[in-house]
Structure 1
Amino acid sequence: MPVLGVCSLKGGVGKTSITLGLASAAVAAGLRTLVVDLDPQADTTLALGATGAAAQDVAAVLDNPADYVVKSALAVSSWDPDMLDVLMGSADSARHDGPTYEHRLGRLATALDTLDEYDLVIIDCPPSLGGLTRQGLTACDRALVVTEPGLFSVTAAARAFKAIDDLRRSSAPHLQPLGVVINRVRARSSEQAYRQAELEGMFGPLILSPMIPERAAMQQAQGAGRSIHDWPGASAAELAQAFDSILARGMRAMSEA
């Protein structure tokens, strides 16, 4: 069961939007998918239409990763109840975001090992390198770093890769970076063009193509509680095709591991 983590060490770069786009692409590709919402803001849970639909949540799973707790924290998504489930996020998960001892880093991985009905798991990590992100990445096969072409986002992407490398050397030797997705790209912005070139110089072939353009269709679809593949218009189709390409690359990488 391949597990893909979506992370950023800076908020506001559209990490959750990338998670939702990949989940949309997975459903469109016919993959039975689980999204794990590790962010205490629980925006992914809300966007996927799963709020209040389970007895437990991810905080309870991290307390006790037993099979019965995991099952009680799962809810179906209104996007597609047959193909897409959510391991519910909650503000209570913030108590797991402090210093995490090595023996606790594998709890989410242990929880996911109780499941075998999914073709793909996508983990939406918080925008920081606390205990939640460390537990999330420890459970992953590949990690996708989300950034945007701005000064502070560039430096945060570099920190994220260092964090992935540190985890590979300790609790997660199986973890590999999938690459960097550059989000919210605006055409004809000289500052963004400069930062894109900077990112390409830093990460080279790890920059994923295509980059994700800034389009109102993304926010419109989320506001309506629908996936980008289910939203009308040329802009939505452009975004859907971009997410299809990134997901396909991720699935190939994880199948070759």
Structure 2
Amino acid sequence: MIRIAIANQKGGVGKTTTAINMATAMAASGWKCLLIDLDPQGNASTGLGVKQADRVHSSYDLLFGEAGIEESAIATIIPELDIIPATVDLSGAEVELVEFEDRTHRLKTAFDDAADKWDIVLIDCPPSLGLLTINALVAVDSIIVPLQCEFFALEGLSQLLQTVERIQKRFNPDLSIRGVVLTMYDRRNRLTDQVEEDVRSCLSGLVFDTVIPRNVRLSEAPSHGLPALVYDHRCSGSEAYMALARELIGRLPAKEELAA
């Protein structure tokens, strides 16, 4: 079971949009996928049409051992895609986690106790580098970093890379960066080209070839409780996420290897 965190401590970079649509695209490609909503805002849950009344168990319960992964996961409208939703309880989790000695490993423990029911797990992290994100980075094999094409995003990326390095040294030596995906890409903006050039020169092969364009349909889809790939599969944003999923699959072990 491959585990990937989608993380960036800067808000508004398209992280949740990437999580929702990447999970949908992977499921559409035949991968059994689980999305864990670890953001107290619960936008990934809402964006997949999960109503509050259906969130019987949540990622909060998972962190505090009140429910296991299989018990917490619920089916979505997308075949082969399940989700562990977030609830408002998660907003106080970081304060509560401080009391636990294993506060950085709570999510990893939940994974260790779970069966390999899914081919891939994606975790939508909150826009911070607090204990929720650290739990995700300790529990996963790798991370995908959505990076908005603007100057300040580069500064945030540097901080995230330093955090990844500290996690590798202290808690998870196997953690790697699966890739950086450029989001909100606008070729009409000269700054976009400059940011892309800087990121690719610094990180080389880590940056996905696929870029996610600015696209109004990507913004509209969550209000309908649908991934953009379902809301409008022909829009440029949906086509980009399908291309990104194909590129990601090319960087992953084959499903047959996972089952072996």
TM over 0.5: yes
Partner of 2:155: 155
| Match of residue 74 from structure 1 | 73
Quote how far apart the aligned CAs of 1:16 are: 0.4
Residues 24, 81 of structure 2: 8 Å contact kept: no
Sort the Cα spacing of 1:200 and 1:232 in 2 relative to 1 into closer, same or farther, 3 A: closer
* Letter matched to residue 57 of structure 1: S
Q: Closer, same or farther in 2 for the Cα pair 1:184/1:133, shift >3 Å?
A: same
The answer to whether structure 1 residue 18 and structure 2 residue 15 are counterparts is no
1:209-250 Cα offsets, whole Å, 9 max, x none, are 111111122123333333333324352552243232343144
Report the Cα offset of residue 253 of structure 1. Answer: 9.4
Matched residue, 1:34: 34
2:87 is matched with which residue? 90
Asked if the contact 1:27–1:84 (Cα under 8 Å) also holds between the matched residues in 2, the reply is yes
The answer (yes or no) to whether the contact 1:109–1:139 under 8 Å persists in 2 is: yes
Taking the TM superposition and a 5 Å limit, the aligned residue runs for 1:46-195 are 46-51=46-51, 52-64=53-65, 68-80=67-79, 83-98=80-95, 100=98, 103-113=102-112, 114-195=114-195
Between 121-130 and 200-209, report the one with greater CA deviation. 200-209
Paired residues in the alignment total 252
Give the letter aligned to residue 38 of structure 2: L
Identity of aligned residues (%): 26
C-alpha displacement at 1:127, in angstroms? 1.0
Q: Which amino acid aligns with 2:88?
A: A
Q: Secondary structure at the match of 2:172?
A: coil
Q: TM-score, normalised by structure 2?
A: 0.88
Q: Could you tell me whether the CA contact under 8 Å between 1:148 and 1:184 is conserved in 2?
A: yes
Once the two structures are overlaid, the 10-residue window that deviates more, 84-93 or 135-144, is: 84-93
Asked whether the equivalents of residues 55 and 86 of structure 2 are also in contact (C-alpha less than 8 Å), the reply is no
Q: Which consecutive residues of structure 1, in runs of 5 or more, have no partner in the other structure?
A: none
- TM-score, scaled relative to structure 1: 0.89
Regions of 4+ moved over 6 Å: 253-256
Deviates more, 1:244-253 or 1:199-208: 244-253
Q: 1:160 and 1:199 mapped to 2: Cα distance?
A: 14
Report the residue type matching 2:65 in the other structure. Answer: N
Q: Is the CA contact 2:214–2:237 (under 8 Å) kept in the aligned structure 1?
A: no
Q: Are 2:10 and 2:153, in contact at CA under 8 Å, matched by a contact in 1?
A: yes
Structure 2: distance between partners of 1:143 and 1:236? 21
Mapped to 1, the partners of 2:235 and 2:85 lie a distance apart of: 32
1:26/1:247 contact within 8 Å kept:
no
Any conservation in 2 of the 1:228–1:239 contact (CA below 8 Å)? no
| Between 85-94 and 180-189, the greater mean CA deviation after superposition | 85-94
What is the RMSD computed on CA atoms of the aligned residues?
Answer: 2.3
Taking a change above 3 Å as real, the CA distance of residues 217 and 195 of structure 1, as seen in their structure-2 partners, is same
When residues 90 and 119 of structure 1 are mapped into structure 2, their CA distance, relative to the original with a 3 A threshold, is same
Letter in 2 for 1:132: L
Report if aligned partners of 1:34, 1:121 keep a CA contact under 8 Å in 2: yes
Contact 1:35 1:122 in 2 (8 A): yes
Q: Secondary structure at the match of 2:40?
A: coil
One-letter identity of the residue aligned with 1:50: V
Secondary structure of the residue aligned to 1:78 is coil
Q: For 2:91 and 2:189, how far apart are their aligned partners in 1?
A: 37
CA 1:102–1:191: 2 relative to 1, 3 Å: farther
**Secondary structure, aligned partner of 1:30:** coil
Q: Secondary structure at the match of 1:13?
A: coil
